[in-house]
Chains A and B, each alone.
Chain A
């Protein structure tokens, strides 16, 4: 497999054939912020936080394969502000009450807010009315916090290959729904996987939580992406 040469913000990088910009950037020590992307899942390109510029056009870096000689713009003031705006939009569009959320400190949306030092969203809060579904024995869904990244839809399947989570309704009414029958059959490990797959606190394991003290959580000390940046 021959290496493909390309650049990110002028830095010479190489990629393997078929790699997306996000994957190749990671291998080259460049962090492109992502939210809906999860290693091992088919990219969906739903959140657009990974937006980069290639040939003057905005592209989702998680879905775009690297091609030879590609010139990628990543950390430009314009793109960074664009990404920050998406994060702020997600904060006002749901009900993200960080002080009361179990996922706080381990939440990727919050971690992106920290990385971009979001002091307040530039958009007005919408305070939508969203439901909490706690009818399943192992998991509960808090739709107030869902960012519709579709990681759970893509990543969690039952033993016979059926999807446990799905997107129902359309447009602004679209929401994640859980098949309670299938969810009840999930093993403890699978339920935990569903919780960990969710970047925010929308899918939570019942009867556990707040296990890690403040100061020792994933994003307490170091920004998201700092493990990639060299």
Chain B
């Protein structure tokens, strides 16, 4: 039987959740025995080459590219997991949610004392900024959630192994944290 296939993505996140995944230490050797990685920044595979079993999503949706990427993951992964506070509730990027986009762009590109050109970038190549930062489950159906900033390595490990073994999660109190 072929190994389950895992894909990962960082949308509007800081890669901290991916770092936390690597924080499983030497269990990473067991992990590569257990699963095969497809599209992911970890192996640098840029496009899906096959249907995946598990998709791990870090970060929420702050622009059109994030949305496109997330829809692509939903299409190509049987199970989609929101990993970390940004994917679950927008996280730090969502702190802009009560400020109009125009004001954010103006502050960053016009009023900022360290910019020279004073123009708001607008090019077809650039993804459009959304009006708000959206949690992933506001955009597509998400199957499971792993909270934390970042989620503890033990939480990610236990969730992955429980999912692969088809059993209930067994989480000690210290493992589920929102910070």
Contacts and interface: CB of A to CB of B under 8 A. Distances in A.
Contact of B173 (A95, A114, A128): A114
A221 B146 CA distance: 19
Contacts of A97: 85, 89, 91-92, 94-95
Interface of A is mostly: loop
A125 B89 contact: yes
A110 interface: yes
Interface stretch (A3-11, A12-20, A116-124, A184-192): A116-124
A127 B132 contact: yes
A114 B176 contact: yes
A117 B85 contact: no
B94 A127 contact: yes
Interface string B110-127: 000000000000000000
Q: How extensive is the interface on chain B, given as a class?
A: 20 to 34
A223 B68 CA distance: 40
A120 B178 contact: no
What bracket does the count of chain A residues touching chain B fall in?
Answer: 20 to 34
A99 interface: yes
A129 interface: yes
A89 B152 CA distance: 25
Interface in B126-179: 132, 135, 137-138, 142, 144-147, 149, 171, 173-174, 176-179
B150 to A, nearest CB: 9
Contacts of B95: 95, 97, 100
Residue in B91, B144, B176 whose Cβ sees the most chain A Cβ within 10 Å = B176
Interface string A77-111: 00000000000000100011111110011000010
A119 B147 contact: yes
A179 interface: no
A200 B161 CA distance: 34
B98 interface: yes
A126 to B, nearest CB: 10
B59 interface: no
B66 interface: no
Contacts of B174: 220-221
Interface in A193-230: 214, 220-223
A61 B92 CA distance: 36
Nearest to B132: A127
B149 A120 contact: no
Contacts of B178: 98-99, 104, 110, 113-114
Contact of A222 (B98, B149, B173): B173
A104 B98 CA distance: 22
Contacts of B91: 97, 99
A105 B135 CA distance: 23
B97 A95 contact: yes
A42 interface: no
A5 B71 CA distance: 59
A99 B92 contact: yes
B55 interface: no
B82 interface: yes
B138 A129 contact: no
Given A100-B92, A100-B95, A120 B179 contact: no
Contacts of A113: 178
16 contacts: A95-B95, A96-B89, A97-B85, A97-B94, A98-B85, A99-B85, A99-B149, A99-B178, A104-B179, A114-B173, A119-B147, A120-B142, A120-B145, A120-B147, A128-B98, A222-B173
Given A117-B171, A119-B147, 9 more contacts: A99-B92, A101-B179, A114-B177, A118-B147, A120-B82, A120-B142, A127-B132, A220-B177, A221-B173
